Every structure is written in C-alpha cells, then in structure tokens.
C-alpha cells in the first residue's frame, strides 16, 4: 500500500509539472476524477466488515461540523444585518445632539475573532468568509501556528498568536480550541473582553456555568446538539463546508427545527440568539420599542401564505415575549420598581451595563401587570448563560407558537438563499428541553 501511494503521488506530481509547462489542459482534472472513483482511496477501505458499523460516526461528525458552522454563519448574518440597521438609526450623544460621524459608524462595525484554527477553525473561517460573508479586514485569527495559515493570509486575513489582542478587538469571538487549552486561554482573555462582546463557544466539553466562571463573562452562546440513532446521511463525504451549504438538502438539514441528518440542535440556542441581539442593542442604549421593531425586521421579514389570509396569525415580537413580572423579579432579585434608585444602583454594579443615570432603565409597565411606572428605555442586560439553561418568557412563547417557529425556519432558509414552501417547513413536535449544565 505504501509503495502504491508513492507511485501515485509521483505520477500526479509529474502530471502537474507537465500542465504547468503548458501541456494539454483538462487532463489533470480528469485524472483526479478517476482517482476519486477508486475504492481503495475511500475512507472505509481496509476496515473489516464486522467493524463497519462504526462508520456512522463519520457521518455524524461531518453533520455536526456542517450544522455547527451553519448556525454560526446564521448568527453572524443576523449580527451583520442588525449592525446595518443600527447604523441607520440616529445616534444620540446628548439629549439635544445627534451624531452621524465616522467614529460612530466605526463603532457599529461588526468585527469577528477566532481563537484556535485547527480543522474546525479553518472550516468556520471559510464559511464566515464565503457564506456570511465577513470582509477579510473584519476577521482576525489567533492560533499557535499562524504561519501555517498561508492561504488565509494571502486572502488578507490577519493571523497571529495573540489571544488577548484578538479578544479585545472582536465584537463576536469564536472559541474553537481544545478543552484542555480553554482554561489558560480564558485566563489570557477574561480581562480583555468588552462586556458587549458575544463569545460563541464550540468547546462542548465545558458547560456554560463553568465557562462563565472561567471568563467572568455572561454574554456567551454555546450551541448544544443531540443525535438520533438511525438517520439518513445527507452530509456528503469530502466537500468543503462552504460548498456543502449550497446544497438544498443540507441547508434543510441544518434548519434549527429539523432532525434530518440525525443531528438535532437544542432550541435554547434560538433563545440565546434572540437575547444576544437584544444585548447588542442594549449596549448601544437603543430603546426597547425600537429593539422590538428591529427584531421583527430581522427575524420575521418573510411570511407564510396563511399570514395573508389570517393576518392575526402572523407573529410579531412583543415586550412580554421577553419580559414578564416574575422574570423581572428574578432578574433583579428584589421586588422593587424598575424605575427606583435601588434598581439603578443594581444595574450599575459590576457585571451590569452602565448607562446614564438620567436614562430610565425600566420597561413600560402597561403590559407587565404589577410594575408601577410608565416609562421607556433600553432592555436590561441579559445573562445569556442563564437564558440558555433556565426557563425564560421566550421559552414559553416560542414553544407554544408554531407560527413563530415556522417564521424562524423561513428566515433561516432565506438567509442561505433557499426559499421553501409552507408544506416543507420542518418541525419537532416536542421541543427539546435545555440540557442541564453542572459545574
């Protein structure tokens, strides 16, 4: 086998040299296609028949890779779309002063960092560049071997070995490292993270409460996946992930409410995504009424046919979808009016986003029975680790609202340029409950 590989390698190298010197074009591609069809080059060649049962793990691994990258891409697409909408809003610097200057525009720009660039990190980088797409100047990578990322550097991506610098620069930070490396990385970056930076972790072995403690940070998203025993392997074999995400069957398989392909996303990730978008707005002191309009534009821009015949069935985000009386109590740990000085002091303590004391931090109480004042302001700052592990008002709302699930499926597919009919909408009748993370 070793000598066969050596001979083939020499033949391919020789053919490549001839093509470089101007020999007949197209022969190299034909030769490679012939090699692709050879059974002896397949992954499973040489595996005893009694052990081939385990080959399903290969499809599961590839499905997990594609689905994870697709969901990260969707999150970045939503963040980019939101940043553009925020740039269109007047930026209030003072009650009587509005600024549209270049510095404000620069602040709204979404910057993406990746720590760790092994197989997953490289696939994710290519997906972000080709599918979102993230401009190369808005993407930075920190890895122990930046010199090995030749192709990415040629494209203009900044590749360094400086975790702290990338973390302090990024507004969205992906963690693609090994679990054993994570504690040291967290130690390096925890003091560099901006409060509004969304940390998106692919390190599944580290539960959210532990990651929150290591980073001293609450704005963390971590998708969780489960597997079904029997599934159709729709994920292909050797195709790169960006190319795979042009396949309509694969896009349907990555849809949040679809079990096609055997990899199922825990739907608490959708809640985390929505609250993360709210936090982005809160960091810019956008009033809650405007935030709800932005969420409707982002997540509910396309509609079902039934929305035309029955407009009342078409979902629109309301304040009570994200906040209610009991959730407010738990959020602030005290039964006080959100407009009171006590709450202002709570929200200005370490760990909460600081805003001007003159700005009211409460939410209008017209729709939240039991709150005393009628005033407007930004949403409070949400702990995303709690959102993904505990029940929220949005948990109850989305699990009980089939039309909202359908609309999110629609916008997800549309973001990958796939238009689906109402009959094609995926649905998991029993919403997967959050996986309990333990310290």
Question: What is the DSSP code (8-state) at residue 189?
Answer: H
Own/partner contacts of 226-230, CB < 8 Å, gap of 24 or more, are: 226/263, 226/264, 226/266, 226/432, 227/60, 227/262, 227/263, 227/264, 228/259, 228/262, 228/264, 230/262
Which residues sit opposite 112 in a β-bridge? 139, 172
264 in any annotated domain: yes
pLDDT at 28 over 70: no
- Mean per-residue pLDDT, 425-435: 47
Residue 1 Cα distances to 9, 47, 123, 294, angstroms: 12, 14, 30, 60
Domain enclosing residue 228, as ranges: 62-88+109-287+381-439
Give the pLDDT of residue 210: 96
pLDDT at 415 over 80: yes
pLDDT at 287 over 70: yes
CATH number at residue 122: 3.40.50.720
Give the pLDDT of residue 388: 96
Give the pLDDT of residue 313: 80
Q: What percent of the chain has pLDDT over 70?
A: 69
Which has more pLDDT, 368 or 197?
Answer: 197
Which has more pLDDT, 413 or 34?
Answer: 413
Give the pLDDT of residue 424: 73
pLDDT, averaged across the chain = 78
Which has more pLDDT, 45 or 331?
Answer: 331
Residues counted in the chain: 439
Range name among 23-32, 64-73, 199-208 with the lowest pLDDT average: 23-32
**3-class DSSP assignment, residue 278:** helix
Give the pLDDT of residue 282: 95
Q: What percent of the chain has pLDDT over 90?
A: 53
Give the pLDDT of residue 18: 35
16 in any annotated domain: no
- Whose CA is closest to 67, among 429, 420, 426, 394? 426
- Mean per-residue pLDDT, 177-192: 96
424 in any annotated domain: yes
Give the pLDDT of residue 342: 36
Residue 205 CA neighbour count, 13 Å, CB half? 8
Q: Is residue 291 very low, low, confident or very high in pLDDT (cuts 50, 70, 90)? A: very high
Q: Is residue 33 very low, low, confident or very high in pLDDT (cuts 50, 70, 90)? A: low
pLDDT at 284 over 60: yes
344 in any annotated domain: no
Structural tokens at position 65: 């890779």
Q: How many domains does the chain have?
A: 1
30 in any annotated domain: no
pLDDT at 362 over 70: no
């Amino acid at each position: 086998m070793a000598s066969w590989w050596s001979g083939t390698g020499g033949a391919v190298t020789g053919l490549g040299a001839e093509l470089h010197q101007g020999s007949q074009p197209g022969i190299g591609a034909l030769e490679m296609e012939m090699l692709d069809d050879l059974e002896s080059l397949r992954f499973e060649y040489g595996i005893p028949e009694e052990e081939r049962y385990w080959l399903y793990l290969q499809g599961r691994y590839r499905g997990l890779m594609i689905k994870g990258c697709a969901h990260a891409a969707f999150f970045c697409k939503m963040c980019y779309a939101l940043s553009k909408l925020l740039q269109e809003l007047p930026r209030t610097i003072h009650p009587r002063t509005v600024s549209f200057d270049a510095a404000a525009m620069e602040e709204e720009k979404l910057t993406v960092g990746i720590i760790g660039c092994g197989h997953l990190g490289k696939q994710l980088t290519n997906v972000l560049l080709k599918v979102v797409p993230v401009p190369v100047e808005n993407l930075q990578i920190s890895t122990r071997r930046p010199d090995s990322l030749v192709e990415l550097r040629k494209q203009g991506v900044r590749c360094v070995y400086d975790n702290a610098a990338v973390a302090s620069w990024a507004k969205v930070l992906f963690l693609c490292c090994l679990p054993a490396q994570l504690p040291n990385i967290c130690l390096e970056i925890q003091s560099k993270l901006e409060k509004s930076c969304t940390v998106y972790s692919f390190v599944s072995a580290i539960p959210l409460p532990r990651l929150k403690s290591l980073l001293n940070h609450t704005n963390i998203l971590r998708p969780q996946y489960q597997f079904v025993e029997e599934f159709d392997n729709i994920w292909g074999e050797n195709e790169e992930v960006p190319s795979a995400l042009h396949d309509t069957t694969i896009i349907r398989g990555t849809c949040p409410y679809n079990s096609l392909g055997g990899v199922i996303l825990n739907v608490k990730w959708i809640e985390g995504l929505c609250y993360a978008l709210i936090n982005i707005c809160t960091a810019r002191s956008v009033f809650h009424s405007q935030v709800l309009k932005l969420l409707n534009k982002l997540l509910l821009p396309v509609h079902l046919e039934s929305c035309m015949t029955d407009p009342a069935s078409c979902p629109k985000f309301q304040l009570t979808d994200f906040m209610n009386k009991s959730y407010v109590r738990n959020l602030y740990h005290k039964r006080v009016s959100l407009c009171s000085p006590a709450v202002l002091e709570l929200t200005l303590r370490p760990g909460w986003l600081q805003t001007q004391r003159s700005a009211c931090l409460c939410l209008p109480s017209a729709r939240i029975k039991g709150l005393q004042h009628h005033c407007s302001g930004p949403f409070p700052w949400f702990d995303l680790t709690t959102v993904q592990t505990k029940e929220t008002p949005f948990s109850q709302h989305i699990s009980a609202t089939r039309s909202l699930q359908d609309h999110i499926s629609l916008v997800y597919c549309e973001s990958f340029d796939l238009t689906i009919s109402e009959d094609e909408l995926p649905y998991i009748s029993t919403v997967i409950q959050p996986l309990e993370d333990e310290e």
